[in-house]
Amino acid sequence: MTGGVENGFRVVCLGEAMVELTPHQGRWNIYYGGDTLNVALHLTRLGLEVSYVTALGGDPFAGFMRAAWGREGLDVSLVLGVPELTTGLYCIDTDEQGERSFHYWRGQSAARSMFNAPGIDRAVVAASTADLFFFSLISLAILPEEGREAVLGLAREVRERGGKVAFDGNYRPRLWESQEAASVWRNRAASVADFGLPSLDDEKRNGMPGDAAAILEHWRECGCREPVLKLGSAGVMLPDGSIKEPELQLHPLDTSGAGDAFDAGYLSARLHGFEPAVAAEHGQRLAGWTVMRRGAIPERDHSAPYASMVAELAGEGSSGGR
C-alpha cells in the first residue's frame, strides 16, 4: 500500500468495532464494521498511516478482526483486549431502496471498557501525537462519563500538539440515556473539533431544527472550525453555506457506510491541502462507490476509486484543483 511514510500524515481513529452480520441469498455473511472503523479502513486504503484505538473481547471474532484489519494495512497495535468481555455484534437489514435498519448485541461489548483496558495509557500517548484524531458521537455514547471526558481531553491534547481533530455527529438514540444528554455531548465534542461532520438526519433526531444553515451555524457557535453538513442524496452543505450536489444520482444497494466513506474522502483531501469543495467531491465519489455494494466497508473491486484518488492526492491527477 501507499503509506503514511510517503505522505507524512498519521491518523488515529477511536471507537467501537463490531462483528457485522448481513443477509445474502439465504445465508448470513460475517464481516465487521463500526463508524470509526469504517473511516479508518477507508483512510488506510487512501494511503494514510492509520492506527485504530478500541477494545475487543476474548471471543474468536477478535482474532479474525485483528488479522483482517492488519491485512488491509491498518495499524492494530493500539487495539486492546478485555478477555472477560465480548466483541459487540450487529446485523443489518436493508429494504428495496437500500435503506438499512440495525439490530445490536453490544451490552457486554469490550469497547465500552476500553479506558480500563490494559495498554490504554500507551494508546492515549500514541494518539496524542497524531496529525489527525477522529472520533464520533457513537464513540462517546458507548463509554461511561469518565471515558467520554478522556476522549475530549485527548482531542484537546492533539490540538495543543499541533494536530487536527475531526468529529462525526452520528446519533444512535438507543445508546443514550436521553436525547438531551446526547446533544450536550455533541456540543462539547464539536467545541474541540477542527472538522465537523454532522448529517442532517442525525441532527434533526438529536434536537436540532430541520434548517441546514442553522445546523451549520450551531456547530460553528459550539466552536467547530469547519463544519460540513451531509444532506444524503441532496449532497452536502459546505462551510461557506453553499451546496455541493453529487455528480451522479444513484439507486443505492446499501447505504450503511455512506457517511463514513464521505468522511474519509473529505478528510484525506483536506489533509492534503485541497479546498472543501474539492474534498467534498472526493467524499462523494467514495460514498457513491460504497453504497452500490453490500456492507459498510466493501471489499475492493476493479471499480474501486482508491487508486485514482491516491494519485490525485499526490498531485498526479485532477479533481478540480486545490
Q: Which domains does the chain have, with CATH numbers?
A: 8-313 (3.40.1190.20)
Residue reference for cell 439490530: 103
At 134 the pLDDT is 99
Residue positions annotated with a catalytic role = 260
Beta-carbon neighbour count of residue 251 at 10 Å? 10
pLDDT along the chain (322 residues), means of 10: 56 97 86 96 98 98 97 98 96 74 88 98 98 99 98 99 99 96 99 99 96 98 99 96 89 86 98 98 96 86 95 73 55
pTM of the model: 0.93
Chain-centroid distance of CA 117 in Å reads 22
Order of strands, sheet of 243-244, starting from the edge strand that comes earlier in the sequence: 229-230, 236-237, 243-244
DSSP state for residue 239 in the 8-state scheme: T
Return the H-helix or E-strand segment holding 81. Answer: strand 79-81
At 93 the pLDDT is 79
At 252 the pLDDT is 79
At 25 the pLDDT is 86
Return the H-helix or E-strand segment holding 99. Answer: none
